[in-house]
Amino acid sequence: MPYMPVIKICGVKTPEILDCVVAQGADMVGFNTFGKSPRYIDWATIEALVARASGRIESVVLLVDPDDDDVRAAAATGAGWLQLHGHETPARVSAIKAATGKKVIKALPVGGPEDLAAVSAYAQLADGLILDAKPPADATRPGGLGATFDWSLLAGLDPDVAFMLSGGLDKDNVARAVREVMPFGLDAASGVEREKGVKDAGLISAFIANARAAATELRK
């Protein structure tokens, strides 16, 4: 099958931007529950957006070290996917999958080769992986910081491990990401915003178009 990466736009907050993400042909849309994030929205808003997305695009609810109440609330929104973006252990990932019956994406921070040691353990348990730029020690949130990481670190990964690439992806570097990494998927948040937490329809359109064009070029 010809290569074409799955595209996820994360941190969507409004019906208008959701409709734009759908119209531009993204595959997944993410909704953020982390209170310290500029992309945070409450449970009622997430539930309404998930309902609006139903049948049009896959919905993902992002959680950071959630307790059981938050896991239940996320599952109750109707989203098909839960994204775990904290320090969840493999055992916790398994427990959340079992408790909710939802598909689970585990995000893993990458800053150096030592961070890739955890990939195989999570790859056996999660339905998807996101490899994101490792935040600095003083960061107040685990992702969405607009920073990339050294993609050459991924060259040694087991080629059978499918992952989504995240961290600082935008319209200007996504084509290079496609050519150099050829990830299963691409995950963008801050890179398609005109200011923190405010998505821009033009940047979303350009990001998706550039990703698709780069993948199409690889097939020639």
Q: What are the sequence ranges of the domains in the chain?
A: 6-218
E strand residue ranges, 101-192 = 103-110, 128-133, 164-165, 185-188
Alpha-carbon torsion angle 37, 38, 39, 44, nearest 10: 90
- Number of Cβ atoms within 10 Å of the Cβ of 88: 21
pLDDT band at 145 (very low <50, low <70, confident <90, very high): low
- Indicate if the alpha-carbon torsion angle 178, 212, 5, 111 is positive or negative: positive
What does the pLDDT read at residue 5?
A: 97
Please tell me the pTM assigned to this model: 0.94
What does the pLDDT read at residue 1?
A: 72
Distance CA 169, CA 93 (A): 26
pLDDT band at 137 (very low <50, low <70, confident <90, very high): low
CATH superfamily of 6-218: Aldolase class I (3.20.20.70)
Summarised one tens digit per residue, pLDDT across range 87-113 is 999 999 999 999 999 999 999 999 999
What does the pLDDT read at residue 220?
A: 72
Summarised one tens digit per residue, pLDDT across range 161-205 is 999 999 999 999 999 999 999 999 999 999 999 999 999 999 999
